[in-house]
Amino acid sequence: MKKVYFAALLSLSLMTANAQEPNIPMGMFGGFGQQQTNVKFDEYVAAPAGFDKERAGIKRGKVQLIEYKSESVGTTRKANVYLPASYDGKKKFGVLYLLHGIGGDEWEWMNDGGVPNIIMDNLYADGKVADMIVVMPNGRAAKDDSRAGGMGSAAAFGEFDKDLIGSLIPYIEKNFSVYTDKNHRAIAGLSMGGGQSLNFGLGNLDKFAYVGGFSSAPNTMRAAQLIPDVDKVKKENKLLWMVCGGADGLMFNSTQLKAFCDENNIPCVLINYPNEGHNFTVWKYGLYNFAQLIFK
């Protein structure tokens, strides 16, 4: 189920070890050598100016680094957790699991330009999001889960669901004041993490009700594999939301899923971010919009 398109993934890992995600030109890798599928994109509405900038005079959340024992990997692993200023450990919050790309780790969203804490602080200040915490794990389920993992990372990304579902989610639900039902659990990610989110989210409809993919990479399973039971997805998924840059060579991975959903009348959003490639301009926009739609 998970070990798909490793040739393309290994090529990506060679490019991205110890680095940010690559800016991939149109046509390079394009869905493992395939052309963009023609679909009707959903409307692109620009995010407001300053949505990703620190704002004076508002309450700020905090980011906490946690360590948890991974049963599937057999090591102690790390994740960053964003807690909004309103989190006091008393009332319960939803949980968004936000995944990184093949060139990153649990710090990529925070340190490589994603500013999720700033985006979320601003959304909270404007009253645009439901109560939630954001968990940013390391998506490499391997004993060496560093960015230097290189070619060895591809298989580890495919195995991350065992760590996520078997160890990380139970740790979060034991140690933070959060809901424990699927309707208060969302998963989304960028590039490799986008593919993971689509694979794991749609593959575990009993665990996640909201699924997002931002510039999803070639690890994304083909639509018929992702959705073998159309009626089940229609019944159990509350949100399937994607965005990809119009100049991103990985657009096919998103359009093939959108086309399948449209053909089968499955609610699904895909936004073509105008003239952008494989970068945090698109991914910040993804987080800004996806966060406003979940747990409502």
Q: What is the pLDDT of residue 153?
A: 76
Average pLDDT of the residues in 214-240: 98
pTM for the model stands at 0.92
Domain that holds residue 69: 6-293
Task: Please list, in sequence order, all residues whose beta carbon lies within 8 angstroms of the beta carbon of residue 187, skipping any fewer than 6 positions away.
Answer: 96, 97, 99, 197, 200, 201, 208, 210, 211, 212
Give domain status of residue 154, yes or no.
Answer: yes
Q: How many domains, in total, are found in the chain?
A: 1
Q: For residue 154, what pLDDT band results from cuts at 50, 70 and 90? A: confident
pLDDT in tens, 230-240: 999 999 999 99
Average pLDDT, the chain: 90
Does residue 1 sit within a domain?
no
78, containing H or E segment = strand 75-83
Q: What is the pLDDT of residue 150?
A: 60
C-alpha span between 130 and 222 (Å, rounded): 32
Task: Tell me what the mean pLDDT of segment 48-74 comes to.
Answer: 98
Q: Classify each residue of 168-198 as buried b or exposed e, where b means 16 or more C-beta atoms within 10 Å of its C-beta.
A: bbebbeeebebbeebebbbbbbbbbbbbbbb
The CATH number for 103's domain is 3.40.50.1820
Q: Mind listing the pLDDT tens digit for each residue in 95-120?
A: 999 999 999 999 999 999 999 999 99
Express each pLDDT in 242-280 by its tens digit.
999 999 999 999 999 999 999 999 999 999 999 999 999
Whether 136 is in a domain gets the answer yes
